[in-house]
Copies of this chain bind each other. A is one copy, B any other.
């Protein structure tokens, strides 16, 4: 197998998100439903903004798959913005007779607004936040859903669950990825400890009322990984470093803790409230 690589593109309120994923082997069974299932999981969660509710993201595969099998060629993914009709003028590619109305000139703390505006020389910080937005993770989830399909062929499964929100911590014992998937699918916070979860939900409600948000910690567990991934021979081939880059590149994630359990790789990942 060749090295996997991917690029994503798309503004949060633009017409669509695009991703190109390359390096998947040929002959892998892949359907739109495999990806849409993960996109729907991404849209769950408690205490989110209204946008997550009105949209149900659906992917189009526009290359790299034929008759439900991958071709080895780049897989391109398109996710339409369902709210595009309301943003066509504001986010128009062409110059517009109407000046933009939803201009953002006050940078929000904890976001890329200010540094992005300085770096790219923008007065309207919408030009930053449209791309720095967590909406971009939709395209990553779509690519990740394909990577999951490949891992499934080798009986490798991964799952995440929330172990802390604010100062409330799950007391549930560690579980395998398959157990986590089975137990958390209906949990609003994907938390294995339902008593802790009830208190977490209350804390979220409280923060929301104040117009605040909360940090938390989630754990990712992977079942069935073979030994020998990555290598110690050079700094940029170490698995720990690659995982850390992937995880810290996610919007709002501020820390990672990698610990190897018995036959499992566990990441504790903290996100700041902002």
Contact = CB atoms under 8 A, between A and B. Distances in A.
Nearest to A10: B63
A46 interface: no
Contacts of A237: 2
A168 to B, nearest CB: 19
A94 interface: yes
SS class, residues of chain A in contact with chain B:
mixed
Category for how many chain A residues contact B: 35 or more
A20 interface: yes
Interface string A108-130: 00001011101111100001101
A172 to B, nearest CB: 21
Interface in A1-48: 2-3, 5, 7-11, 14-20, 22, 25-27, 31-32
A16 to B, nearest CB: 5
A62 B9 contact: yes
Interface string A203-219: 00000000000000000
Q: Which 6 A-B pairs have the closest CB atoms?
A: A241-B249, A255-B257, A119-B228, A9-B74, A245-B245, A244-B248
